[in-house]
Chains A and B, each alone.
Chain A
Amino acid sequence: MDKARPSIKDLHARLSQGETKSVDLTQQSLDHAKNSDSLGTLFLSLREGRAMAAAEAADQRAKQGKRLGPLDGIPIAIKDNIVMKDEVATCGSQFLRDYVSPYDSHVVGKLKEAGAVIIGKTNLDEFAMGSSNEHSAYGVVRNPWDRDRVPGGSSGASAVCVAAGIAPLSLGSETGGSVRQPASFCGVVGVKPTYGRVSRYGLVAFASSLDQIGPFSWWVEDAALLLQVIAGRDERDSTSAAQAVDDYPQTIQKPIDGLRVGLVRDFTATDLDAAAEKNFSTAVEAIRGLGAKTVEVSLPHLKYAVGCYYVINSAEASANLARFDGVRYTSRSKDHGNLKDLFVNSRTQGFGVEVKRRIMLGTYVLSAGYYDAYYGKACKIRHLIREDFIKAFAKCDVILTPTSPCEAFPLGAKLENPLQMYLSDVFTASINLAGLPAVSVPSGFSEQGLPFGLQIIAPDFAEGRALGVAHHYQQSTDWKDMRP
């Protein structure tokens, strides 16, 4: 019996040959989803009837030999901050508990065109603000490798879906590591595309200059496939890149002999758990074993990345969340005498603590008298961080770091201390600031049996290269045969 989970390629073959049916795959996914209480609140909505109907349509196409492509009939879960027409999008918040979107996001449109079967909307930290999926208004999500631990965030549930085998693919979103970090904590593959690579139209905005939608998968080649489907210019998103989309499944096959791999010398021992450091070194050795050459690079402004990131993300978020006001489509506070109360009470009741904290921080750093010191300063530092990467990429083709400074932490461990929580973004946030692509691929386990991830960072629009490194590395390891 094949120990490995089926890849999309395998499923594609079985579906094309009629060995498997999409309705069976979809039913399995839905049943698994409904029987996963031990993993916390994974789904905020399941599309049972509609998903089955889509699966039936896929099977019809397969019977007629008219499958739309490798994703046709494949179950996929999407994060609940990615809107879908006629489906509720809560963004993990009470404020949007009944909000039904009248339109499809761009990526949902692409998935529908590809015939993918969207089974439901996954839980997340409220409005994507968090690194542990503990800030959802609908309950926590638990790490399948140890149910007393967090899965990471904010796309925790999307990562768990793939890790637990509920669906072979899922979509999450990134602002400062919200795909890569849960991928690392849950032992799955997570991709953050180059900024602008995937349209943000229909992604509920958190921080507009940082957000990107990214795939989760078990196999790197599956992430490559999914990315190819959702990537590309969308004229409804002014920040969407016109750059042609690579054939990622093709690109990743290229061997990595002689590839120059940069190792960052600027993070100190205190940034990393000992176990994480050891895991990282082992992974680096494995990459060398595949023919890559390592070289030291310096990112001198890396230590300011988290601070810079929090100023910028909270500033943009404070504006992006101003539309949630109790007027047009959010829940509305029952106690409002006048208009001002309606706004204030609705927002106070609708938003959770972390969201309120972020909004206030953002309001503060943009406010009169403080703009230059905080937001103005952060924008300049962002520029310097970006330059660091550009200079480093003159010497190497990809840069490696651990995805996270530690393994998944216990539920509740960092809730009281937001700053501690923010620091878990130390390796990921700088990438969003610079707009670069990065992949997190499973790199082994801690002594407690918790996964680690290796982060591979590439220059603009070179996600194919990063995926290639991840692919070859994955092929050379046994981690993909492990199950939670």
Chain B
Amino acid sequence: MDVAGNRSNWRRTQVVRERSAKPSFAGSNPAGAFSYEVEKMRVGKEEVLRIAALAHIKIEPGEIDHYTKNFNEILDFIAQMNEVDTKQVSSAFHPASEPSTPMRADTPQPSLTTEEVLRNAPERFADYFLVPKVVE
């Protein structure tokens, strides 16, 4: 089976974004060294808290150090990627084998019943989901 012929076009082009550059990764810790000084961290506690807030997760004060440490170890390891010269790589890769997204006809299909829809709702009111008031 000739593999080179299959999937020879890279489907995903890079999402181009004008963003400010992150400070350089010079001097990253080798993957083997796991002892860590909080001060030398790539990502500080405030940043970790900001990311958690963005992800709608709360980190308790007692946990913040632990999360920050793990976070930095992982990021340091990932920073290895910077060794690779990707300037010539024009696109990312998605492993799906079809060249374009399948499309369906505009024909209505049966929906779920309202009971099925609300079956797992933590709180409901008549046929609606119920949440605390949304303030604009």
Is chain B in direct contact with chain A in the complex (CB below 8 A)? yes
- Whether the pair B131, A360 counts as a contact (CB closer than 8 A) is no
Find chain A residues with CB under 8 A from B14 CB: 376, 379-380
Show 15 residue pairs from A and B whose CB-CB distance is below 8 angstroms, ordered by the A residue: A209-B94, A310-B78, A327-B131, A328-B121, A347-B55, A359-B55, A363-B54, A371-B17, A376-B15, A380-B92, A381-B84, A390-B4, A422-B74, A422-B77, A461-B6
Interface residues on A, range: 35 or more
Contact at B80–A304, with CB atoms within 8 Å? yes
Any B CB within 8 A of the CB of A338: yes
Is A479 in the interface zone, CB < 8 Å from B? no
Task: Flag if B19 contacts A369 (CB, 8 Å).
Answer: yes
**How far, in angstroms, from A418 to B31 measured CA to CA in the complex?**
12
Instruction: State in angstroms the CA–CA spacing of A348 and B51 once bound together.
Output: 14
- Distance (whole angstroms) from the CB of A364 to the closest CB of chain B: 5
Across the interface, do B51 and A367 meet the contact criterion of CB distance under 8 Å? Answer: yes
Cβ–Cβ contact B98 & A242, under 8 A: yes
Question: Taking the nearest CB of chain A, how far is it from the CB of B77, in angstroms?
Answer: 6
- For the complex, what is the distance from the CA of A342 to the CA of B133, rounded to whole Å? 11
A10 within 8 A of B: no
Interface: A46 (CB within 8 A): no
A469 CB to nearest chain B CB (Å): 14
A311 adjacent to B78 (CB under 8 Å): yes
Known contacts A99-B120, A363-B55; A369/B20 CB under 8 A: yes
- Identify the stretch in A27-35, A115-123, A233-241, A446-454 within 8 Å (CB) of chain B at 4 or more residues: A233-241
B55 touches A332 (CB 8 A): no
Interface 0/1 of B1-41, CB less than 8 Å to A: 10110110010101101011110010000010010000000
Q: Would A364 and B120 be within 8 Å (CB), given that A369-B22, A380-B14, A460-B97 are in contact?
A: no
How many inter-chain residue pairs (CB < 8 Å) link A and B?
A: 211
Q: Is the CB of A307 within 8 A of B19?
A: no
CB distance from B40 to the nearest CB of A (A): 17
A462 to B44 CA separation, bound complex (whole angstroms)? 46
Residues of A within 8 A of B132 (CB): 336-339, 341-342
Q: With A and B bound together, what is the CA distance between A199 and B48 in angstroms?
A: 36
**CA separation between A435 and B95, bound complex, in Å?**
5
Measured CB to CB, the residues of A under 8 A from B are 98-100, 102-103, 194-196, 209, 235, 238-239, 241-243, 301, 303-304, 306-308, 310-311, 318, 325-332, 336-345, 347-348, 351, 356-357, 359-361, 363-364, 367-374, 376-384, 386, 390, 393-394, 417-419, 422, 433-435, 459-462, 465
By Cβ-Cβ distance, the 8 closest A-B pairs, closest first, are A435-B95, A379-B92, A329-B120, A332-B122, A459-B3, A195-B95, A380-B86, A380-B89
Interface of B is mostly: loop
Report the bound CA distance from A371 to B21 in whole Å. Answer: 9
Closest chain A residue to B19 by CB distance? A369
Q: Which residues on B are within 8 Å of A, measured CB to CB?
A: 1, 3-4, 6-7, 10, 12, 14-15, 17, 19-22, 25, 31, 34, 43, 48, 51-52, 54-59, 67, 70-71, 73-75, 77-84, 86, 89, 91-98, 101-102, 104, 112, 116-117, 119-123, 129, 131-135
CB distance from A201 to the nearest CB of B (A): 13
Contact between A377 and B81, CB atoms less than 8 A apart: yes
| Residues of chain B lying within 8 A (CB to CB) of residue A374 | 78, 81
Q: Give the contacting residue for B77; candidates A359, A377, A419; CB below 8 A.
A: A419
Q: Which residue of A lies closest to B103 (CB)?
A: A238
Query: Known interface pairs A369-B22, A371-B19, A460-B3. Does A98 touch B55 (Cβ–Cβ under 8 Å)?
Result: no
- From A318, A360, A372, B17 is in contact (CB under 8 Å) with A372
**A344 x B92 contact (CB < 8 A):** no
The one of B4, B12, B84 in contact with A379, judged by C-beta atoms closer than 8 angstroms, is B12
Is B77 in contact with A307, judged by CB distance below 8 angstroms? yes
Given A332-B122, A418-B70, A460-B7, the answer on whether A363 and B51 have CB atoms closer than 8 Å is: yes
B16 to chain A, nearest CB (A): 9
- By a CB distance below 8 angstroms, the chain B residues around A242 are 97-98
Closest Cβ neighbor of A101 among chain B residues:
B120
Q: Which residue of A lies closest to B102 (CB)?
A: A238
CB–CB B112/A235 < 8 A: no
Q: Which of A102, A351, A371, A377 contacts B86 (CB 8 A)?
A: A377
